[in-house]
């Protein structure tokens, strides 16, 4: 009887580490998106447009248009909402996209992803980041909203910012 118990314990000890390895593999799959590649190019994997692209044609007089103005922003921005994204550009001739905001899935993270999952993903790729409150001049980041913080990555060509509200992802930003 003792031999059977010892054999059962040995089998159990051999199975448990294998089960633990599977979970580590599954967790690593979540972090496969290369933050550096997308941030250096100036886009998000889910976006068809990138920083510096021309804006799509639009009619600002069209009431159905999803274009909006942020005149009090510095510099003044105009933006367009295309589904999950808002694309911002400075006023002037031949405007180019200067910032992109995503409100749903961004860099593979669904809206409401807890911030620790994002920081773990950044850590797994050795991305340097800071967690902070938005400054007053960052109007795109909802500075007057309660419980808002930012996870900001500056080590790329373009700034990448995850906007966290109530400890969960609510938007992401890429721009200069």
In a domain, residue 135? The reply is yes
Global confidence as pTM: 0.72
> Alpha-carbon distance 138 to 131, whole Å?
15
Number of DSSP helices (H) and strands (E) in the chain, helices first: 3, 8
Please tell me the total count of domains within the chain.
1
Residue 56 falls inside a structural domain: yes
**For residue 76, what are the domain limits?**
24-176
Biggest CA pair distance of the chain: 86
Residue 123 lies in a domain: yes
| Position 145 in a domain | yes
Residues 152, 161: Cα–Cα separation, whole Å: 4
Does any domain span residue 158? Answer: yes
Tokens, residue 65:
């248009």
Block residue for tokens 């007057």:
144
Is 42 within 8 Å of 157 (Cβ atoms)?
Answer: yes
Query: Does 16 fall in a domain?
Result: no
Indicate the DSSP class of residue 140: G
What does the pLDDT profile of the chain (176 residues) look like in tens digits?
566 654 444 544 555 555 555 444 444 444 688 999 999 999 999 988 899 988 766 555 554 445 455 555 444 455 555 567 888 877 677 778 888 888 888 999 998 999 999 999 999 999 999 999 988 777 666 667 788 999 999 889 999 999 999 999 999 999 98
- Whether 39 is in a domain gets the answer yes
In a domain, 1, yes or no: no
């Amino acid at each position: 009887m003792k031999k059977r118990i010892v054999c059962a314990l040995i089998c159990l000890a051999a199975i448990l580490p294998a089960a633990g390895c599977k979970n580590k593999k599954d967790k690593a799959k979540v972090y496969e998106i290369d933050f550096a590649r997308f941030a250096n190019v100036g886009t998000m994997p889910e976006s068809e447009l990138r920083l510096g692209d021309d804006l799509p044609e639009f009619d600002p007089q069209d009431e159905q248009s999803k274009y909006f103005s942020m005149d009090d922003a510095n510099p003044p921005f105009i933006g367009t909402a295309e589904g999950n994204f808002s694309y911002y550009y400075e006023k002037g001739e031949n405007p180019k996209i200067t910032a992109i905001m995503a409100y749903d899935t961004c860099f593979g993270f669904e809206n409401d992803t807890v911030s620790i999952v994002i920081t773990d993903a950044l850590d797994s790729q050795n991305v340097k980041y800071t967690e902070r409150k938005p400054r007053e001049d960052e109007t795109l980041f909802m500075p007057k909203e309660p419980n808002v913080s930012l996870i900001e990555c500056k080590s790329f060509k373009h700034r990448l910012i995850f906007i966290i509200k109530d400890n969960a992802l609510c938007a992401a930003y890429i721009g200069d």
